[in-house]
Amino acid sequence: MNQKIVERWGVYETAIKLLNPFENPYSIVQLEAIFRSGERMVKVNGFYDGDDVYKIRFMPDAVGPWTFSTSSNVPALDALTGEFDCTDAEAGNHGPVRVASRDSFEYADGSPYIPFGTTCYAWVHQSGALQEETLEALRNSPFNKIRMCVFPKRYTFNVTEPALFVFPGSKEDGFDLERFEPRFFQGMERRIEQLAELGIEADVILFHPYDKGHWGFDRMSPDRDEFYLRYVIARLSAYRNVWWSLANEYDFMREKRKEDWDRLFQIVQENDPYGHLRSIHNGTKMYDPESLVLYDHSKPWVDHVSLQHWDLTVVDSIRRKYGKPVVVDECCYEGDIPRRWGNITGEEMTHRLWEGTIRGAYVGHGETYMHPEDIIWWSHGGELHGTSPERIGFLRKVLEVAPRNLTVIDTIKDVPALGIQNDYYLLYFGIHRPIVRPIQLPEDAAYTAEVIDTWNMTIKPIEGTFSGDCAISLPGRPYLALRIRRSMQ
Amino acid sequence: MNQKIVERWGVYETAIKLLNPFENPYSIVQLEAIFRSGERMVKVNGFYDGDDVYKIRFMPDAVGPWTFSTSSNVPALDALTGEFDCTDAEAGNHGPVRVASRDSFEYADGSPYIPFGTTCYAWVHQSGALQEETLEALRNSPFNKIRMCVFPKRYTFNVTEPALFVFPGSKEDGFDLERFEPRFFQGMERRIEQLAELGIEADVILFHPYDKGHWGFDRMSPDRDEFYLRYVIARLSAYRNVWWSLANEYDFMREKRKEDWDRLFQIVQENDPYGHLRSIHNGTKMYDPESLVLYDHSKPWVDHVSLQHWDLTVVDSIRRKYGKPVVVDECCYEGDIPRRWGNITGEEMTHRLWEGTIRGAYVGHGETYMHPEDIIWWSHGGELHGTSPERIGFLRKVLEVAPRNLTVIDTIKDVPALGIQNDYYLLYFGIHRPIVRPIQLPEDAAYTAEVIDTWNMTIKPIEGTFSGDCAISLPGRPYLALRIRRSMQ
């Protein structure tokens, strides 16, 4: 596997076979490589992939010739060199996503990225056939981000032991936390690549509480946590669509304290040469001055807020507090299971997406319908059954044809508004249904207005044009948005 | 007017004509009376009612003979005596409402009082014909409490000067804050009596911010505030259905501080011999440790919490914090005006009533539909146009046939529940719509279950009986409640 050509933000990989003289190559062998292009130098860690194979992966971010050389504590792996050419990115490859402003993301090539996430926590721990089904559903969905766990999930509806784990072993026989199971990662990597092909970001959840000691991955020692993180990062960070979610519902992981999260964040930051997005997702409330557990999202290694909250009006204060993009990764799921977080309607799910979006956040979808075989999208993937994804696609289209850099316009009262002052306004009324909307527009321009029915997915022009202090009549039913645009003169 | 017989909790009134030798009898004449029945003594203040007439009003709370004697700084009003007999209360007269427990109210005769309030802030400042229309609407409504202001309201949709004010004068000519306008109070008292006949409590709002200096009643001196309060209490406190709401949206009254409210509360407490219910209603949030303005509802002169909040889940923490009955007097109004607080649907209004009720609070209704003459229930009264009152009547009936002393059962997860452990449960799912509800019931009893459709106002039995750990199937749509009752053996 000696690639000679790699597209920009693609994965360069080199594999070195070395008959294995070590009892535990995962812990004994140190391998790193420095990649160079002109003045630029990037250091990456290699990893042992099993079967006597060591690998180095790298994501070039600049077009042109690159060289590399290795260093290792094993002579046979030390001072190896290589070279390849980095070509322009192919269509559909915009590079990794980064924070573009306090309210927005963009791809590395400068094109906009508007997150429309969903959640299938344990999809890579399901059967291959089910994983294929999930990919097919994602292909036909509006989603461009997915939250997914490295560790398997033990929880209501999640009681089947997966075939492969991060570590070799099983619940019955125990796990060897000093080694890894490359076959598990090889499978996961293939899924991450397939997601990239679909234009979907993989929001990789590194720790979670849905274990409670069943396997014990939620309560490993600090050394094992670090050992695990360094391996995951060495393997996955060359995939452009990876994001690091330090944990799901971190505040439910009672074995870890705030200081632990500081340390784990810094391990990720130091070992990921590309600076993939980093966040940590809360389980209950977002902040509480007296809490020993809740994490301060203003810390510099947190790129964006990954919020759980059912009330999207909370976005206003979270945005102000942190000044970072807010992704509401969980706000209840469309479904009908008994749990409170998993039985809202498609209408309500759609409404929450709109509400959070117009308040300047990015809201994620999830689905939890009862299923005869307990195959539930939120955890297992499979098929989508709900009514909200189609409407989320409609919202996505509305935003994609809007001007870039929409911001929250808080001078407009009684309704959240996103827009560009004097040019473009998107107001969302939600459960509110005034029959008239007063608005102050500049006197010296004419504006057109349209009523957007967020559920029926229609956009209807309102007769006339508007200027100055005016009042726009509305149909007086819930779940409408109003789009106001400056007319071309 | 020398009554000889007064029913218990009725109004005894005596009037004394005295050709008026004083420049300002409102400020110069002091008049009080001590009423006695056996060992019991109650001191009340008299008041000048204009036209050379002084009055003393008294609400007897015990059956039997009562006597009284006056004292005054005016010899002609001093040492007057009288007597009357107090008979049993007539049907429909249960006496004043008091706090019965940390979660409930009752009438003085011990019968339960479950508040179902509405709001017509300025209805007594409208034309007589409109006031009659309001009474007629109330008669046909499910409401048994109304929030109403003593001072007129200046605000959106409220720009007409009333005919009479608390004080003599007008906006044009100014007001004499050292005198009162008895004709205004006589009119208001008649309305309070008519409300009592309808079984409706008058939640009298003593101060409010909807003035902003237009008349200046929101920024009188401490002396004038006290003068006003003493007069209002002398006139109104003998009406059994009066409650004292110190203010509406007190935190919007920037001229008053927390210390002022302490003082005003204490003036009410000291001058009202009957201890009518006292509260103060917030405009924005309920508490904020750093606020100089927000009022501490744990103070002893606050009987119950009069909350404004749109999110009824907040009831949980408010109940825990104060340990007093929580009345959510404003949670947005059914209507279609442009303002955010005044354009929710009847469905949403009904939902909020149920949500707050099952969380252990009492939630008030309001209505704000656009009207060609700006006659809007919330302020002016008139007709009810909405769809929620009928459903609120249905909720009221459900509660009235429930056992007394329902309490919040917080051991039931994922859904709010009100009930009596092991006997009676009322679960409300709101926007949530599980298709199955697991519940743990005692093994040694059988329970019946019914689905309550809160919007369609139907109650349908679920087939079978339930015991022990069981799962109850539900229709899987929003806005349902589940009633579970122990079967009679």
Q: Do the chains contact at B434 and A345, CB–CB below 8 Å?
A: no
Interface contact B414, partner A, CB < 8 A:
yes
| Euclidean distance between CA atoms B193 and B186, whole angstroms | 11
Does B128 have pLDDT greater than 80? Answer: yes
Does B284 have pLDDT greater than 70? Answer: yes
Nearest-CA distance A394 → chain B (Å): 23
Nearest residue of A to residue B347, measured between CA atoms: A431
From B400, B409, B419, select the one nearest B486 (Cα to Cα).
B419
pLDDT of residue B290: 60
CATH 2.60.40.10 fits B5-87, yes or no: yes
**Which residues of chain A register pLDDT less than 70?**
1-2, 285-293, 489
Nearest-CA distance B128 → chain A (Å): 30
Interface contact B340, partner A, CB < 8 A:
yes
| Euclidean distance between CA atoms B57 and B238, whole angstroms | 6
Contact, B98 vs B105, CB < 8 A? Answer: yes
Does B286 have pLDDT greater than 90? Answer: no
Residue B289 — very low, low, confident or very high, per pLDDT cuts 50/70/90?
low
Contact, B268 vs B233, CB < 8 A? Answer: yes
pLDDT of residue A289: 58
Q: Do the chains contact at A437 and B338, CB–CB below 8 Å?
A: yes
Q: Do the chains contact at B338 and A478, CB–CB below 8 Å?
A: no
Which B positions 441-480 lie with beta carbon below 8 A of chain A? 476, 478
From B333, B328, B336, select the one nearest B349 (Cα to Cα).
B333
Q: Do the chains contact at A343 and B432, CB–CB below 8 Å?
A: yes
Residue B3 — very low, low, confident or very high, per pLDDT cuts 50/70/90?
confident
Contact, B49 vs B86, CB < 8 A? Answer: no
Q: Do the chains contact at B370 and A436, CB–CB below 8 Å?
A: yes
Q: Residue A401, Cβ neighbours under 10 Å: how many?
A: 7
Nearest residue of A to residue B368, measured between CA atoms: A434
Q: Which CATH number is correct for B97-400, 3.40.30.10, 3.60.150.10, 3.40.50.720, 3.20.20.80?
A: 3.20.20.80
Does B287 have pLDDT greater than 70? Answer: no
> Considering only CB atoms, which chain A residues are within 8 Å of B370?
435-436
> Considering only CB atoms, which chain A residues are within 8 Å of B435?
336, 370
B407-486 CATH fold: Immunoglobulin-like (2.60.40)
CATH topology match: A97-400 vs A407-486:
no
- Dihedral through CA B309, CA B310, CA B316, CA B318, nearest 10? -10
Residue B293 — very low, low, confident or very high, per pLDDT cuts 50/70/90?
low
Contact, A384 vs A367, CB < 8 A? Answer: yes
Token duo for residue A273: 């040469």
The number of residues making up chain A comes to 489
- Where are chain B's structural domains? 5-87, 97-400, 407-486
What digits encode the pLDDT tens for the residues B357-386? 999 999 999 999 999 999 999 999 999 999
pLDDT of residue A207: 98
**Number of CB pairs < 8 Å for A and B?**
61
Q: Do the chains contact at A336 and B435, CB–CB below 8 Å?
A: yes
pLDDT of residue A462: 97
- Dihedral through CA A120, CA A123, CA A124, CA A130, nearest 10? -150
Nearest residue of A to residue B430, measured between CA atoms: A344
What ipTM goes with this model? 0.90
| Euclidean distance between CA atoms B261 and B243, whole angstroms | 17
Interface contact A254, partner B, CB < 8 A:
no
- Dihedral through CA B384, CA B390, CA B393, CA B395, nearest 10? -130
Interface contact A434, partner B, CB < 8 A:
yes
From B177, B163, B84, B91, select the one nearest B128 (Cα to Cα).
B163
Q: Do the chains contact at B436 and A343, CB–CB below 8 Å?
A: no
pLDDT of residue A488: 74
* Average pLDDT of the residues of chain B: 96
What digits encode the pLDDT tens for the residues B76-110? 999 999 999 999 999 999 999 999 999 999 999 99
Q: Do the chains contact at A337 and B434, CB–CB below 8 Å?
A: yes
Choose the mutation target among B336, B343, B427 for the interface with A, i.e. most A CBs under 10 Å.
B343
From A342, A367, A389, select the one nearest B431 (Cα to Cα).
A342
Token duo for residue B298: 């744990």
> Considering only CB atoms, which chain A residues are within 8 Å of B482?
none
